[in-house]
C-alpha cells in the first residue's frame, strides 16, 4: 500500500522562499525566458502538489496506482507551468509599464502554445519517476 503524506508546516515553509524569489524576479529588469519558465514550473508544482496532498494525503492506495497518479499529477504540473509562466509575464509587463514591453504578447501566446507539449513532458516525467520509485522500493506492485 502507498500512503501519501498530509502537507505539514514544513511543506508550507517551502513556499516562502519561492514567493520571495518571485517577488525579487518581478522587480528586476529581465527579459530572459528561462527564469520565467522556471518560476512558472515552480508555482505549478507547488500548487498542484499542495492540492493533491491536501485532498489525497493520509489515504492508502494500492501501489499499482502510483504510475497513474504520478502521470496525472505530472500532466497537471506541466499544463499549469505554461499558464503560470504566461501569467508571470503578464504581471511583470503590468508592473513595469514600459512603452516597450518586457514580454510582448506574441511571446506570451507562444508560451501558452507550449502547454500541450509541457503537459506531455510532465506526464512522462511523472510516469518515469514513479516507475523508478517502484523499482527501487523493492516491492512489486
Mean pLDDT across 19-28: 91
Instruction: Quote the percentage of the chain above a pLDDT of 90.
Output: 55
The pLDDT of 31-38, averaged and rounded, is 92
Rounded to whole angstroms, how far apart are CA atoms 90 and 88? 5
pLDDT band (50, 70, 90) for residue 141 = low
pLDDT of 77 reads: 96
Residue 140 has a pLDDT of 56
How far apart are alpha carbons 97 and 100 in whole angstroms? Answer: 8
Q: Which of 105, 7, 10, 98 is nearest to 47 (CA)?
A: 7
Residue 12 reports pLDDT greater than 60: yes
Q: For residue range 79-105, list pLDDT tens digits in order.
A: 999 999 999 999 998 888 777 888 889
- C-beta of residue 82 within 8 angstroms of C-beta of residue 111: yes
Q: What's the pLDDT score for residue 100?
A: 80
Would you state the cell numbers that stand for residue 73, as one nine-digit string?
A: 499529477
User: How many other β-carbons are positioned within 10 Å of the β-carbon of residue 132?
Assistant: 10
Per-state percent for the chain, helix, strand, coil, to nearest 5: 75, 5, 20
pLDDT of residue 107: 93
Q: Do 63 and 141 meet the contact criterion of CB atoms below 8 Å apart? A: yes
User: Which residue has 524569489 as its cell numbers?
Assistant: 21
Higher-confidence residue of 100 and 77: namely 77
When pLDDT is averaged across residues 49-68 and rounded to a whole number, the result is 87
Amino acid at each position: 500500500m502507498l500512503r501519501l503524506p498530509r502537507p505539514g508546516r514544513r511543506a508550507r515553509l517551502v513556499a516562502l522562499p519561492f514567493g520571495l524569489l518571485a517577488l525579487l524576479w518581478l522587480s528586476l529588469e529581465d527579459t530572459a525566458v528561462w527564469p520565467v519558465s522556471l518560476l512558472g514550473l515552480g508555482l505549478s508544482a507547488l500548487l498542484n502538489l499542495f492540492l493533491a496532498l491536501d485532498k489525497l494525503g493520509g489515504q492508502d492506495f494500492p501501489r499499482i496506482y502510483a504510475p497513474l497518479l504520478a502521470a496525472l499529477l505530472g500532466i497537471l504540473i506541466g499544463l499549469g507551468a505554461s499558464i503560470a509562466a504566461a501569467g508571470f509575464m503578464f504581471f511583470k509587463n503590468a508592473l513595469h509599464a514600459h512603452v516597450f514591453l518586457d514580454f510582448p504578447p506574441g511571446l506570451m501566446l507562444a508560451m501558452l502554445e507550449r502547454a500541450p507539449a509541457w503537459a506531455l513532458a510532465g506526464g512522462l516525467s511523472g510516469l518515469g519517476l514513479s516507475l523508478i520509485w517502484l523499482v527501487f522500493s523493492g516491492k512489486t506492485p
